[in-house]
A and B are shown apart, each in its own frame.
Chain A
Amino acid sequence: MEKLGIEPSLLITQIVNFTIMIFILGKLLYKPILKSLEDRRKKIEEGLLFTEKAKKELETIDKRHETVLNQARKEAKAILEDAKKDGRKLKEEMLTEGKNEVSHLKQKLEKEMKNREEEIQAEMTSHTVEIAAEMVKRLIPEVLKDESQHQLILKQLERIEKTHEKRQS
């Protein structure tokens, strides 16, 4: 060993020094560092777990969100359908009401026209009769001369006589 340049006492001293240093470092440095690393590792692990958990919760929320959205879409669709149905129904009702009103108006107008026609007819008849009566009143004195007048009187007298005789018998 002396030929190699290694002194045993020095070597032993170095070994002892090294051991002491390792021991001291182990106690003062190594353990705290390890602890620190371990703590850090744990923190990282916790962080990862938290992230994982948060990710899962996010997924749950997303799913719930999607469900709510779908539900809302379904409800909106249903509301729209109902509104369309109501709209159609209202349209039909209005059409029917409109038709009924038109029909009613038509009947009313026809009735009014018929009444008016009858009124006019009656007026014309009345007017015609009036004119005819006036003509008769004017013509009779000219046409029914004395002879005709007396004939009329005699006929009336005969009629009264016959009627009275008939009653008596």
Chain B
Amino acid sequence: MKKDNHKLQEALDLMNFDTTHVFADDLQESIKLAVEKAKGEKAAMVESASTFIPAEKQKLENILDTIFKRRISVDYFVKPSLLGGFRVTVGDWKLDGTLACQLEKIQSKFGVK
């Protein structure tokens, strides 16, 4: 386990990656666009690398209610390929905080498709 952590840290250092800041800098902008892009939508899709526990679900739903100022039903899906974190999709609005997304952004920064 210690050896694996060390390997992971090495890999993350190589990409200059910080696990506590997994959202893009445009989080504020994204939330701003949420209401506009999700106008009229009543359902949200949440995909995560691991299963949301009830407390997490509650917290997320409360946040979504606050952002959209209305009740939105949420469907949860587990996708291990997302590696870590979760992403929310409501209509045209998407908030992606998954590790897979961040990894993709870092790769595209270096010109890797």
Q: Give me the interface of A with B, judged by CB distance under 8 Å.
A: 122, 125-126, 128-130, 132-133, 135-137, 139-144, 146, 148-150, 152-157, 159-161, 163-164, 166-167
- In the complex, A157 Cα to B22 Cα: how many Å? 11
Q: Judging by beta carbons under 8 Å apart, are B11 and A122 in contact?
A: no
Residues of B within 8 A of A154 (CB): 56, 59
Interface class of chain B by DSSP: helix
Residues of B within 8 A of A139 (CB): 4, 7-8, 11
Residues of A within 8 A of B86 (CB): 153, 156
Q: Give me the interface of B with A, judged by CB distance under 8 Å.
A: 4-5, 7-8, 11-12, 14-15, 17, 19-20, 22-23, 27-28, 31-32, 48-50, 52-53, 56, 59-60, 63, 66-67, 80, 83-86, 95, 97, 99-100, 103, 106-107, 110-112
Which residue of chain A lies nearest to B81 when distances are taken between CB atoms in the complex? A137
27 contacts between A and B (CB under 8 A): A122-B111, A129-B112, A130-B107, A133-B103, A133-B112, A135-B7, A137-B103, A139-B4, A140-B8, A140-B83, A143-B5, A146-B50, A149-B49, A149-B84, A150-B53, A152-B19, A152-B85, A154-B56, A155-B20, A156-B22, A156-B86, A157-B63, A160-B27, A160-B31, A161-B59, A163-B27, A164-B67
**Which of A122, A133, A159, A167 contacts B106, CB < 8 Å?**
A133
Residues of A within 8 A of B49 (CB): 144, 149
Q: Judging by beta carbons under 8 Å apart, are B22 and A126 in contact?
A: no
**Which of B31, B56, B97, B112 contacts A126, CB < 8 Å?**
B112
Residues of A within 8 A of B23 (CB): 156, 159-160
Closest 4 CB pairs of A and B: A149-B50, A129-B110, A132-B14, A135-B11
The distance from the CB of A109 to the nearest CB of chain B, in whole angstroms, is 26
Q: Judging by beta carbons under 8 Å apart, are A143 and B4 in contact?
A: yes
Residues of B within 8 A of A161 (CB): 59, 63
**Which of A125, A137, A140, A150 contacts B110, CB < 8 Å?**
A125
Interface class of chain A by DSSP: helix
Q: Judging by beta carbons under 8 Å apart, are A167 and B28 in contact?
A: yes
Q: Judging by beta carbons under 8 Å apart, are B107 and A133 in contact?
A: yes
Which residue of chain A lies nearest to B23 when distances are taken between CB atoms in the complex? A159
Residues of A within 8 A of B107 (CB): 129-130, 133
- In the complex, A167 Cα to B31 Cα: how many Å? 9
Q: Judging by beta carbons under 8 Å apart, are A157 and B59 in contact?
A: yes
The distance from the CB of A68 to the nearest CB of chain B, in whole angstroms, is 83
Knowing A126-B112, A160-B95, the reply to whether A140 touches B84 (Cβ < 8 A) is yes
Knowing A132-B14, A157-B60, A160-B27, the reply to whether A126 touches B111 (Cβ < 8 A) is yes
